[in-house]
Structure 1
Amino acid sequence: MIDLEKKTTQARFGQLVGITQPAVSGLLMRGVMVAGDTLGNWLLSYCGHIRDIAAGRQAGEDARTLDPAEEKARLYAAQADKIEMENAVARGELAPVSVLEDVLTRAGTKVSAAMDAIPTALKRRLPNLTDADLTIVRRELAKARNAVASLSLEDLEADEENEGE
């Protein structure tokens, strides 16, 4: 439920009426709407402004800023994007970030436990390994674990770009 008595952001208002945040900012700068006013008052001011444009009482820059055909095309494109995303979710191609984060955390925990068991398994199978040898193995495993733990999305994207070259 939308509360018309509350204040809102430029971006949310733009999303509500189908215009961009910069267009909302322009309306505020031109005095069409009053900064800090309620959502209800912004809607009333905006609708009055649109009626004036439609009636030909305002022209020039305002008419170009709020081109109905352009705004309608933007709306159709956004609706098409939304449907495409819903279809991708239904096909299992997209998942919420929280689900992906949970899966990666669990996978990381399992991999870490498996890596921790490697020195012990090596010592059991190769009793002639010295403590110095196992220390080297532990150090290399720690380096690998730290490298994976510090990965970021930017690192992965950079790796993909490097593979493409």
Structure 2
Amino acid sequence: MKVIEAMGVGITQAEFAAVIGVSEAKVSQLVAEGVIERGQSAHAWLLAYCERLREVAAGRASGELGGLDLVQERAALARSQREAQEIKNAVARGEFAPIGLLADVLGMASSAVVDRFEQLEGALRKACPDLPDQAKATLQQVIANARNEWIRSTEKLVASELDRMSREADEDESADDGAALEDHTEATT
């Protein structure tokens, strides 16, 4: 092919696409990404293209292979594996239980307390039939306030714990992205 003979001179994107077996649109994308630069020789384009292929194949560069960014995918996999191991360790230490189980336990405990509070009025009538209505009302108001505060405190505790977990996950993700960038930087230098 005459293009191979003229490797030391300029080349069009269409000619380069024919040489490397890709579409002209892909060559345009390579130019836009800065992989190859306009005005360089065919030889320089070929070297740059081959270097890009080696970097992507080695996982040191992000490449659009099937829509996946290999560097980010590896970082996400490493993060998932680390989180899974952390959960296993927490379970083994007895520091972790599934949120659904914790919610069920908290719900049952709350129901038991509410049931007892609702029985209080009848128990007071039996135990203290001559207790003034004002005293009964005050006692029930104090208990209702305590129950409502329990519910607010529980909701606040759950919300703050979810916020803390979310912040930790964001920090872990940022750290993993930074580590992946560090790995990528080290690999390319």
TM-score range, shorter chain: 0.3 to 0.5
RCO comparison, higher one (Cα < 8 Å, 6+):
2
